Amino acid sequence: VGKVHQNVDVEFYNMTGIKVSWDADNKTFKLQGGFDNKESTFVHLADNSMVFQIGANPLQDVGAAIGDMRAAALGVDKIIVTNREAANKAISTIDRAIQRVSSERSKMGALQNRLDHTINNLGVAAENLTAAESRIRDLDMAQEMMEFTRNNIMLQAGTAMLAQANMKPQVVLQLLG
């Protein structure tokens, strides 16, 4: 995963075969590959914010908006220090810029924590689903084994009864003979 800004591609090939590229001129994402269903959406861009689908159901998503962090937007692109007053003004401008950047970083950190929590939650859910499926399969196997054992006992009992029925005429012949 790479940073999303000019001339940087973000690739998810290891996970899904999806390549997401950023077109800085048009300010759009381009998604390539990975989708069998046209209704699937991984990420979309609207009003300089991103929305990630994080669950299996609609509306299970999380949004992220990254503020403008360019030097011009932060007001640090034209800092010129020629005297003490300009230096003090520059320090104030840089302090405000640092506060804005720190605020954006904390928002991104909170989003990362939410995504990490979601990943862990989905991992636990998948593990629980696998365990439940295993229990169902085990129960089905136990049911089949019980049915097999019952049928085997019935077969052996039938064979024993047939053997006893065949022995009675021989006993009568022995008594007569």
pTM reported for the whole predicted model:
0.53
User: What number of other Cβ atoms are within 10 A of residue 95's Cβ?
Assistant: 10
Per-residue H/E/C for 27-92? CEEEEECCCCCCCCCCEEEECCEEEEECCCCCCCEEEEECCCCCHHHHCCCCCCCCCHHHHHHHHH
- Once rounded to an integer, what is the mean pLDDT over residues 83-109? 95
Whole-number Å distance between alpha carbons of 172 and 68: 107
The pLDDT, as a whole number, for residue 40 is 41
User: What number of other Cβ atoms are within 10 A of residue 162's Cβ?
Assistant: 10
Mean pLDDT of the chain: 78
* Residue 82 domain flag: yes
- Higher pLDDT, residue 5 or 144: 144
* Residue 125 domain flag: yes
The pLDDT, as a whole number, for residue 115 is 87
* Residue 60 domain flag: no
Whole-number Å distance between alpha carbons of 62 and 121: 15
- Residue 92 reports pLDDT greater than 80: yes
pLDDT band at residue 107 under the 50/70/90 scheme: very high
Give the domain extent around 117. 68-150
- Once rounded to an integer, what is the mean pLDDT over residues 75-101? 95
Whole-number Å distance between alpha carbons of 164 and 34: 70
- Higher pLDDT, residue 148 or 38: 148
* Residue 119 domain flag: yes
Domain count along the chain:
1
The pLDDT, as a whole number, for residue 153 is 93
Least confident of 16-20, 122-126, 151-155: 16-20
* Residue 40 domain flag: no
User: What number of other Cβ atoms are within 10 A of residue 125's Cβ?
Assistant: 12
Q: Which two tokens stand for residue 105?
A: 């970083």
pLDDT digits (tens, 9 = 90+) for 38-51: 434 444 444 566 77
- Residue 110 reports pLDDT greater than 70: yes
* Residue 145 domain flag: yes
